[in-house]
Structure 1
């Protein structure tokens, strides 16, 4: 099943349910670049630490363009496995405004050339990709928000004695504020608007057609902050409004801004809801109203929120504190990229990465290792396609594809992440059964 930015939230509850009921989840990625093999002077294979550092460097530079995962449900009563593959393009862009998080990424010419040759649409992640934000990026957004709210930390504009126009502007603003404070109508007028010269003030919603410049607004805010501790300046469209300090109002404004920030982060979180579900993390902050949308148009639709809540609660109960078993094929690289993309900074040593990774996912299975372990010093065939072909005759255990996820039943789509995760899931089921019989 293809999932894009419009259909993601309408499908998210079903995705979370499928993950919560999965015996294991197979994953695969398509990337904007991969590690470059370096010229080595030493004889022999590179160490695991060297391989890790090469992969770490690539993961910090390149982007996950597509994330495929297949939820595998074990039907014990009927002795069969039911597969539900998903194929998700990921957007590299920060789509929510105001988070002040920048994301720098690259495209590797060789990787792009390969993707184009297999029919991958490079523009699709940008136009139709599902957004995401990592744990580190969420933390960065909150830290930037806190700094913005701390007015004492703002750097002042230093006005030189020769900048006569700026000094005259400050004198005018100071005079207007002082006049307002001394006016007998101060009790009646709860505010004063600082407008450009020649504009009519006093209207709470009105501003001059040519408003104050950003520089002038900063000067007003700076003046009020420095000289009028009992007043507060509020930026408006084209002017600045000065009001008396009110702790209750300011606390409410701060709480509203924090709530709005959390809502923006949660909307940008996007695909990370899926990753957090795979990790068995707390996902109770998901706004279920976002799921009440049409999967084609994205428009809000009527939904039974009690039913949504019940479905979400069932999934969350199964997921919380219970990380899914993750299966991949030759998945060391994928795991490094997943950690860097959704969790945060990678540690410097492979041992530290191993500890952190297994702290998140205690059980990880690699089907390439399963198929090549104890096979001697001559490596057998190990590509995903080759192993799938070798196991195609295996009829036990029975594998079925959910009718709503039948995209790959009659179509081969190698190097599409969803399809490759679908093959990985089949290999894991068939190969484990074959190895057990042997």
Structure 2
């Protein structure tokens, strides 16, 4: 189901109920940027900290435009799952001093058009949201009674005219009508809050409240003598306003409170965007970022990393062609996993998608992630017990517990980022140091090494470069090939021999030692 401003409040209780009944939640997000900038390149040199440091300033220009959540509810009697999918459309907002912004690249627009992205739904119907940092600012303004002044100062000419028309309608009603109540149609929740406060200031005797059964109407009582008259407390008006402004952030809070396992596919960047969009600006300290995410979502699973590790149990002819989400989902959905021929759980969508199921639609991808998680968990549980039979969610989560809070690092120096422990040590071969006879051309070096396997190269001075090899075999091939080369000298990188700092340390040590020896000799001669 697609969730926008138009149906969010109507569906909120259903979302809460579906979340409460779920065993775990599939997650996916779509972004406003194609990751093709220099900082988004995946290099074999990078640790997760280094990659985080490269990304943290860039992602402030990006937002999630869609978030998909699929609640997987287990039926013990039928040994099956019901998958309830939601696609939330998001749009940044301006409110008081908060003016959320983002960048759309032309390449992103082309990509989104290709996948039939609905720009009207994004701009006109997207849910608002606030980060925890932004929420704190708004609540402080409310506490200091500064919010109303901030909002009225931001009104444009049309809104000023509309507000004046409300004053006129109420004034005429009070003077010319004997009716005890009247209604005003005020659709926008922010403007409705302003109207409540402004009308109470202009007409001290009236009482205002939102119409029961229709929150888009303001019900006005002539005065407190009218039977049943009541005025909504300011705290209620402020809470209603905050609820609207928080929008999708309410769903994030529900996930945080429920502490259900969250399952995504290749979610390193997703976690960074989650922090920036729903917690606050990314901290300089990588450890603080990990701590904040873990406090919000304490049980994260990444099917990209899980499938990479579990693929090691399969032969070349048994394994999926790739562990991209589409290939992985189709491998399991089409029954190609020979390990899971019998006793697998039936997984049913609670309702079909409104549009043709397509990858890069957040709701559908969140379903696919959860589907793969169930199949991987079934396989892992059966491997643990040594027999293949039906598996429930408790056993699935237990079997996949070693992968909890480990998020895949694409083509990096380490295999995963851990949200609960120190990241693992580098698993790539030692770096290689290449020295050229003349000024180095990195493009030419890359071309010369391309046939040896997966490598990354970065300059290390005018005549040198560092080489990161994907496998030990690739590193050995390069060392062997250039052992007697006249053009390049290649050796295993040694920080003391090859780094400027290491060389300086050695020369400084030698100089200090030499000076000390000379001093002692001089003293002895004297």
How would you bin the TM-score normalised by the shorter chain?
0.5 to 0.7
1:271 counterpart residue number: 248
Q: Pick from 362, 368, 375: which aligns with 2:298?
A: 362
Q: Pick from 92, 97, 118: which aligns with 2:115?
A: 118
Structure 1: runs of 5+ lacking an equivalent: 151-204, 207-234, 242-254, 281-318
2:307 counterpart residue number: 371
> Is the Cα–Cα contact under 8 Å of residues 266 and 305 in structure 2 kept in the other structure?
yes
2:325 counterpart residue number: 384
Q: 1:43 to 1:382 in 2, by over 3 A?
A: closer
Do residues 425 (structure 1) and 422 (structure 2) align? Answer: no
1:432 and 1:70 map into 2 onto residues whose CA distance is 17
1:42 and 1:430 map into 2 onto residues whose CA distance is 29
* Runs ≥4 residues deviating over 6 A: 39-43
TM-score for the superposition, normalised by structure 1 = 0.61
Do residues 406 (structure 1) and 352 (structure 2) align? Answer: yes
Matches within 5 A, 1:181-220: none
Structure 2: runs of 5+ lacking an equivalent: 148-170, 173-196, 204-231, 384-526
Q: 1:104 to 1:40 in 2, by over 3 A?
A: closer
> Is the Cα–Cα contact under 8 Å of residues 35 and 54 in structure 1 kept in the other structure?
no
1:107 and 1:130 map into 2 onto residues whose CA distance is 18
TM-score for the superposition, normalised by structure 2 = 0.51
1:78 and 1:344 map into 2 onto residues whose CA distance is 43
1:178 counterpart residue number: none
Larger Rg: 2
2:23 and 2:310 map into 1 onto residues whose CA distance is 26
Q: 1:417 to 1:40 in 2, by over 3 A?
A: closer
Q: 1:365 to 1:61 in 2, by over 3 A?
A: same
Q: Deviations over 1:349-372 (max 9, x none)?
A: 322211221122221100011110
Q: 1:402 to 1:350 in 2, by over 3 A?
A: same
Do residues 142 (structure 1) and 139 (structure 2) align? Answer: yes
Q: 1:75 to 1:35 in 2, by over 3 A?
A: same
1:324 and 1:345 map into 2 onto residues whose CA distance is 25
Q: Pick from 129, 132, 146: which aligns with 2:129?
A: 132
Q: Deviations over 1:375-407 (max 9, x none)?
A: 56x99712100111211205642233244x222
1:339 and 1:429 map into 2 onto residues whose CA distance is 27
Shift of 1:374: 6.1
Shift of 1:130: 1.8
Shift of 1:411: 4.1
1:39 and 1:264 map into 2 onto residues whose CA distance is 39
1:177 counterpart residue number: none
Q: Deviations over 1:45-96 (max 9, x none)?
A: 22211211233223311111001010011222321111111111112224xx
The worse-fitting range, judged by mean Cα deviation, of 363-372 and 41-50 is 41-50
Do residues 336 (structure 1) and 272 (structure 2) align? Answer: yes
1:67 and 1:55 map into 2 onto residues whose CA distance is 20
> RMSD of the TM alignment (CA)?
3.5
Q: 1:87 to 1:42 in 2, by over 3 A?
A: closer
1:246 counterpart residue number: none
> Is the Cα–Cα contact under 8 Å of residues 25 and 260 in structure 2 kept in the other structure?
yes
2:9 counterpart residue number: 9
The worse-fitting range, judged by mean Cα deviation, of 362-371 and 350-359 is 350-359
Structure richer in strand, relative to its length: 2
2:322 and 2:21 map into 1 onto residues whose CA distance is 33
The SS at the match of 1:57 is coil
Do residues 63 (structure 1) and 57 (structure 2) align? Answer: no
> Is the Cα–Cα contact under 8 Å of residues 328 and 367 in structure 1 kept in the other structure?
yes
Do residues 18 (structure 1) and 11 (structure 2) align? Answer: no
Q: Tell which has more relative contact order, 1 or 2 (C-alpha 8 A, sep 6+).
A: 1
Q: 1:429 to 1:93 in 2, by over 3 A?
A: same
Q: 1:375 to 1:256 in 2, by over 3 A?
A: same
Number of residue pairs the alignment of both structures matches: 298
> Is the Cα–Cα contact under 8 Å of residues 39 and 54 in structure 2 kept in the other structure?
no
2:360 counterpart residue number: 415
1:245 counterpart residue number: none
1:39 and 1:69 map into 2 onto residues whose CA distance is 29
